[in-house]
Every structure is written in structure tokens, then in C-alpha cells.
């Protein structure tokens, strides 16, 4: 664990007369626990979603969000999740992060992907310390973090900043390995109240911004498949909820952030179907674009889909229906993001022109 701890002012010395309330403090008691079944509704990401408004005593209002499906994150030990490896501490607990994950170009699929967490002391913190998945749905692979991924250091208070690193290696004898390494920079950059379709009465929240820069490398026999991931999680946390009141994830291209997932704390049985938690990684080829077009490899099960193409500033360039070909002849040089949608299921890809 490598950690840099700073305390930023962010206006803490402002006059008390400007404050209509006192910011809450989030502690380990507000984190998920073993046995939790945390229900959240998921909305389609939108390039126009406002996630930049933050600071002191902000009244966030996301009550107009329209959910399309739900997830239930059930927190289990590795043994309860079907992974008997002793490499993950018996006291750690986690949820299924992905039903399946196929890295672009890789000849393997990871199924039933879990991350396992613990609440630790000295210093008090909530950490990811174990990983588990099944290669091609059959062969189990588990691994502890050799450098744990610290999500939060407690107490979480307005203006707190942490920078940490993380690393793990999971090996499958005779086949290959999965390596993950990166950094996480977390800032509590806002406080106030929030409304959502679930919290119709404003609830006090802290906003936590976590910027993650990581490389995941899958090695299969003699081949390596690196995946560069650079994203930001925005989480509005409340006391006693165990799940963010609102959670927005964005991808970063240059200095531009584009929303990739939106979810909020909710109730069971609201009449919305359940589905996978996050976007599929789609493949674009050729990449970088070398001709007049690029093609997007979408799942074979998608009979009807729409491609949304954005530039590095988040501007919508074009929308295409039921075609995997994107004309790049007139596009300026730069980076582009494609968000694909099919019946409430989303995929994402990036390419360079």
C-alpha cells in the first residue's frame, strides 16, 4: 500500500453564515456488510448528464432519472460464491461485478467475476483485497491483491484527499494469468443534499470523486492482451445506506469525461427487469482508423442496436442504426468514443482517427 494523505481546504474556512447545514461524516458503518442485498436501478448513460456541479451545500436533484433495469448486489464470501481457494481471506466478502467479460481480441471469457472487500483498521479503511472469476465459465481462478485497492479511508469528510496504488496477479497453471495494476485518487469534493426517484425527500450526502488509471493484462499461452482503463467514479454517499445514493461512472479521453453508467439506490420489486451491471467492452477495427471507415464488433445476439459516436469533447458526432460501419473519412484526427445500445444493454469502445 502506497499512500499520500492530504487535507484540502475547499472552502472550509468560509463563513458559517453561508452554510444551511453541517456536512455529514461517512464511516465504516456506512459500508456494505456480509449478507447485504443492495438493490439499485440503472439508467442509460447520457452525454448531457450534469455531474460537474459540486462544492459546499449543494442541492443535487436527479429525481427525473428514468431507470431501465435493476440489479441486486448480494455480498458473499468467496466460499459462498463458489470459490473455495484459500488465497482470499475467509472474512472478505464481495459481489458479482460482471456476469461475463471478454477483453477485446482475447480468446477467453471471464465469467462470474467477483471483487471481495474488507473493512480494516490502522488506518480505518474499506479495501478491495480479492478477485475471483471462471475462465470460459469453467475453470476457477482466484487471487488476493498484493497491493490492496483502498476505496475509502475513514472518516470521509469534506476536503479529504487520498492517492493509493493497487496490484494483483491471478495465475492459471498451463494457461496464463491476469494482472491488474493501477492508481486510485479519491477526493471528497462536495456535500449537500440529494433527491432521486428513490429519495424523494432530500437526503444529506457527501460526494466522493475517485479517478482510477489501471492496466489489466490477460496472458493466454504466449499472447498478451493489455486493457488500458482510465475512468472516474462519482459517488454520493449517505449515512446508513451501504450503497451510493447515486453512482455515475465516466470514461476519460484526454480531459473529457463521458458517462458510461448511472445507478441509484432503490427498492426491490418496482417492475423493472434485471440485467447485467455495466457496459460490455466492444471491439473496433482497424484501430487506429487507417481507411475511410471503422467497424464495430457487436454481440451476435443484438438484432436491433444504435451506435452513438462522440468526439473527445463529448460532442455527439453521429447516430447509426443497425450498422456496424462508421464512416471516418471526414473526421478530424483525434480520439472518439462509441456507445452502443440494444434493448437496454450497453457497450462501449474507443478508437483513434
Q: For position 241, what pLDDT does the model report?
A: 93
Q: For position 105, what pLDDT does the model report?
A: 65
Question: Taking a C-beta distance cutoff of 8 angstroms, is the pair 338, 349 a contact?
Answer: yes
Q: For position 344, what pLDDT does the model report?
A: 56
- Average pLDDT in the chain: 84
What's this model's pTM, rounded to 2 decimal places?
0.72
Q: How far apart are CA 115 and CA 117, in angstroms?
A: 7
Q: Confidence class of residue 341 from pLDDT cuts 50, 70 and 90? A: confident
Q: For position 162, what pLDDT does the model report?
A: 97
Q: Which of 31-40, 80-89, 134-143, 313-322 has the highest mean pLDDT?
A: 31-40
User: Torsions phi, psi of 47, nearest 5?
Assistant: -65, -25
pLDDT in tens, 204-260: 999 999 999 999 888 877 788 888 889 999 999 999 999 999 999 999 888 889 898
Q: How far apart are CA 35 and CA 32, in angstroms?
A: 9
Q: For position 19, what pLDDT does the model report?
A: 39
Q: Which of 2-6, 117-121, 174-178 has the highest mean pLDDT?
A: 117-121
Q: How far apart are CA 277 and CA 97, in angstroms?
A: 7
Q: How far apart are CA 287 and CA 283, in angstroms?
A: 9
Higher pLDDT: 311 or 67? It is 67
CB atoms within 10 A of CB 196: 22
Q: How far apart are CA 229 and CA 142, in angstroms?
A: 21
Q: Confidence class of residue 337 from pLDDT cuts 50, 70 and 90? A: confident
Q: How far apart are CA 278 and CA 262, in angstroms?
A: 9
Percent pLDDT > 70 in the chain is 85
Q: Confidence class of residue 16 from pLDDT cuts 50, 70 and 90? A: very low
Higher pLDDT: 312 or 162? It is 162
pLDDT at 339 over 80: no
Q: For position 5, what pLDDT does the model report?
A: 44
Q: How far apart are CA 213 and CA 200, in angstroms?
A: 35
Q: Confidence class of residue 267 from pLDDT cuts 50, 70 and 90? A: confident
Percent pLDDT > 90 in the chain is 44
In the sheet that holds 335-342, the strands lie side by side as 280-281, 345-352, 335-342, 306-311, 316-321
pLDDT in tens, 129-180: 999 998 888 888 899 999 999 999 999 999 999 999 999 998 877 777 889 9
pLDDT at 28 over 70: yes
Higher pLDDT: 66 or 3? It is 66
Q: How far apart are CA 49 and CA 351, in angstroms?
A: 22
What does the pLDDT average to over 37-56?
Answer: 85
Q: Confidence class of residue 57 from pLDDT cuts 50, 70 and 90? A: very high
Q: Confidence class of residue 17 from pLDDT cuts 50, 70 and 90? A: very low
In sequence order, the β-bridge partners of residue 58 are 192
Q: For position 13, what pLDDT does the model report?
A: 32
What does the pLDDT average to over 31-49?
Answer: 85
Amino acid at each position: 500500500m502506497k499512500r499520500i494523505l492530504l487535507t484540502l481546504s475547499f472552502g472550509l474556512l468560509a463563513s458559517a453564515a453561508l452554510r444551511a447545514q453541517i456536512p455529514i461524516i461517512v464511516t465504516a458503518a456506512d459500508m456494505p456488510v456480509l449478507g447485504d442485498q443492495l438493490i439499485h436501478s440503472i439508467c442509460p448513460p447520457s452525454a448531457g448528464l450534469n455531474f460537474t456541479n459540486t462544492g459546499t451545500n449543494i442541492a443535487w436533484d436527479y429525481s427525473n432519472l428514468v431507470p431501465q433495469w435493476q440489479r441486486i448486489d448480494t455480498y458473499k464470501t468467496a466460499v459462498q460464491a463458489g470459490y473455495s481457494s484459500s488465497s482470499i481471506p475467509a472474512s472478505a466478502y464481495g459481489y458479482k461485478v460482471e456476469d461475463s467479460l471478454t477483453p477485446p481480441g482475447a480468446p477467453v471469457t471471464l465469467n462470474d467475476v467477483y471483487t471481495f472487500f474488507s473493512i480494516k483498521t490502522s488506518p480505518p479503511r474499506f479495501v478491495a483485497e480479492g478477485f475471483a472469476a471462471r475462465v470460459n465459465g469453467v475453470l476457477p481462478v482466484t487471487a488476493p491483491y498484493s497491493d490492496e485497492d483502498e476505496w475509502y479511508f475513514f472518516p470521509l469528510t469534506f476536503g479529504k484527499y487520498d492517492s493509493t496504488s493497487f496490484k494483483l496477479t491471478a495465475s492459471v497453471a498451463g494457461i496464463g494469468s491476469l494482472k491488474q495494476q493501477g492508481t486510485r485518487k479519491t477526493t471528497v469534493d462536495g456535500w449537500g443534499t440529494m433527491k432521486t426517484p428513490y429519495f424523494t425527500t432530500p437526503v444529506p450526502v457527501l460526494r466522493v470523486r475517485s479517478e482510477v488509471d489501471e492496466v489489466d493484462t490477460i496472458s493466454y499461452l504466449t499472447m498478451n492482451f493489455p486493457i488500458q482503463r482510465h475512468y472516474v467514479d462519482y459517488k454520493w454517499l449517505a449515512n446508513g445506506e451501504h450503497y451510493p445514493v447515486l453512482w455515475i461512472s465516466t470514461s476519460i479521453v484526454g480531459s473529457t469525461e463521458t458517462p458510461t453508467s448511472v445507478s441509484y439506490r432503490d427498492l426491490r420489486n418496482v417492475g423493472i427487469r434485471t440485467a447485467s451491471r455495466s457496459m460490455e467492452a466492444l471491439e473496433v477495427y482497424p484501430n487506429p482508423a487507417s481507411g475511410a471507415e471503422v467497424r464495430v464488433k457487436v454481440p451476435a445476439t443484438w438484432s436491433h442496436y444504435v451506435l452513438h459516436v462522440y468526439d473527445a469533447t463529448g460532442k455527439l458526432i453521429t447516430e447509426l442504426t443497425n450498422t456496424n460501419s462508421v464512416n471516418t473519412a471526414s473526421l478530424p484526427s483525434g480520439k472518439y468514443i462509441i456507445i452502443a445500445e440494444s434493448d437496454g444493454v450497453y457497450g462501449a469502445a474507443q478508437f483513434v482517427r
